[in-house]
Amino acid sequence: MIKVENLSKSFGPKVAVNGVSFTVERGEVLGFLGPNGAGKSTTMRMITGFIPPSEGKVTVGQHDMIEDPIPAKRLIGYLPENAPAYTDMTVEGFLGFIAELRGMHGDARKRAVHRVVEMCFLESVLYQSIETLSKGFRHRTCLAQSIIHDPEVLVMDEPTDGLDPNQKHEVRGLIRRMGEKKAIIFSTHILEEVEAVCSRAIIIDRGQIVANGTPQQLKQQSDAAGAVLLIVRAVAGAQLVERLSGVANARRTAIVKEENGKVWARVYPKSANTNGELARNVLAAATGWQVEELHTEEGRLDEVFRSITLPETAKSAKP
């Protein structure tokens, strides 16, 4: 549904997006990750036709966004960063206005407004001026306008930014449900969100894609992926490290913390750790200890995110 080819954007000498390519199909929820200033919003603005790319091509459905913007824009629902809305209008007036520009009139328009008001829980503020809404309601109002025409493609720039935990949970659920039938792309810097919602994630840093895969695949790039975490009671750290270092396929053992007479230790695998092999080896080596817990770790997304994006941003910070 969305096809982005070699997309670039420069603002004067500043290259905000540099040769980004990817596709999103119906039924996919693509998470767009990256530190602040990575170029997420700029990419989304080019996809939705707000700013023209310096180079490259965006195709939505069958339509080129530059050559044929109106039919392309018809397919898209867009929630811009910071959820802007006409503050002088009421929620109902605003949604009706957007519906009208989306080509809905009369009864169809009323039904469309009614539908999104229910989906986004806006009944209680329907006749309230947007100016007077709390941030959460305002955000949901803008979310409602983005899905008012039941679009096939949904582009959302930080859709959960500024919401409280309950609202975040609701919005994530909504995205996941809609993702079954639509092509969705959303940006975030909350990593748990990616695991909760996305079928695929792209990490972008300084305008370039640095990782692309399912959340599972990305997690496997983590240092801790496949490591075994062991918690034992009443064993000295040094003794533990000594004994675990000898385990087959263990590259290194690190003490995570020692507290209340318990020791947390992580054993990193030498080669790919499959079928819990390392866990069995560690358990065998731990005979006689009071083992409280032992499990193989999946790897952590935030660690992958940091290891991919940190060195780069650190470099750019000192030219």
Partner 1 sequence: MNSISNIRAITKRELGGYFSSPVAYVFIVIFLLLTGFFTFMAGGFFERGQASLENSFFVWHPWLYLFLVPAAGMRLWAEERRVGTLELLLTLPITTWQAIAGKFLASWLFLLLALVLTFPVVITVNFLGSPDNGVIFAAYVGSFLMAGAYLAIACMTSAMTRNQVVSFIVSFVICLLLVLCGFPPVTNLLTRWDIPWLVNTVAAFSVITHFEYFTKGVVDSRDVIFFLSVIGFSLFTTGVIIRSHRAG
Ligand X SMILES: Nc1ncnc2c1ncn2[C@@H]1O[C@H](COP(=O)(O)OP(=O)(O)O)[C@@H](O)[C@H]1O
Query: What is the contact mask toward Mg ion in residues 56 to 95, using x (rule: CB under 5 A)?
Result: -------------------------x--------------
Tokens 């300084």 found at: 206
Q: Which residue from 256, 206, 232 is spatially nearest to 18, judged by alpha carbons?
A: 206
- Cβ proximity to Mg ion: between 32 and 268 the closer is 32
Residues 49-88 that bind partner 1 (CB under 8 A): 49-52, 70-71, 73-74, 76, 78, 80-82, 84-88
Options 40-48, 117-125, 147-155, 294-302: segment touching Mg ion (CB under 5 A)? 40-48
CB of 128 to partner 1, least distance (A): 13
Options 41-49, 107-115, 139-147, 257-265: segment touching Mg ion (CB under 5 A)? 41-49
Name the token pair of 81. Answer: 């960063």
State the binding partner of 34 from ligand X, Mg ion, partner 1, none, CB within 5 to 8 A by kind. Answer: ligand X
Interatomic CA distance for residues 88 and 292, integer angstroms = 60
State the binding partner of 80 from ligand X, partner 1, Mg ion, none, CB within 5 to 8 A by kind. Answer: partner 1
Name the token pair of 40. Answer: 């997420």
CB of 41 to Mg ion, least distance (A): 3
Are 142 and 172 contacting, i.e. CB atoms less than 8 angstroms apart? no
What is the maximum span of the chain, computed from C-alpha positions, in angstroms?
77
Binding to ligand X by residue 37, rule CB under 6 A? Answer: yes
Options 38-46, 104-112, 118-126, 229-237: segment touching ligand X (CB under 6 A)? 38-46
Residue 293's Cβ-side half-sphere holds a number of Cα atoms within 13 Å equal to 10
- The DSSP string of 79-101 is E-TT----TTSBHHHHHHHHHHH
Query: What is the contact mask toward partner 1 in residues 90 to 129, using x (rule: CB under 8 A)?
Result: ---x---xx-xxxx-x-----------------------x
Q: Which of 48, 59, 141, 281 binds partner 1 (CB under 8 A)?
A: 48
How close are the terminal C-alpha atoms of the chain, in Å?
Answer: 40
Name the token pair of 276. Answer: 């819990």
User: Residue 256 carries which DSSP code?
Assistant: E
Question: Residue 40 to residues 45, 46, 104, 157, 276: CA-CA distances in angstroms?
Answer: 9, 10, 31, 8, 38
Name the token pair of 103. Answer: 């080509």
CB of 302 to ligand X, least distance (A): 17
- Cβ proximity to partner 1: between 14 and 318 the closer is 14
Residues 138-167 that bind partner 1 (CB under 8 A): 142, 145
Q: Which residue from 55, 37, 58 is spatially nearest to 47, judged by alpha carbons?
A: 58
Name the token pair of 199. Answer: 């079928």
- Cβ proximity to ligand X: between 36 and 275 the closer is 36
Q: Which of 14, 70, 166, 259 binds ligand X (CB under 6 A)?
A: 14
- Cβ proximity to partner 1: between 44 and 304 the closer is 44
Q: Tabulate helix, strand, coil % of the chain (nearest 5).
A: 40, 30, 35
Question: Residue 290 to residues 142, 234, 282, 286, 295: CA-CA distances in angstroms?
Answer: 55, 7, 13, 8, 15
Binding to Mg ion by residue 41, rule CB under 5 A? Answer: yes
Interface with ligand X (CB under 6 A): 11, 14, 16, 34, 36-42
Interface with partner 1 (CB under 8 A): 11, 42, 45, 48-52, 70-71, 73-74, 76, 78, 80-82, 84-89, 93, 97-98, 100-103, 105, 129, 142, 145
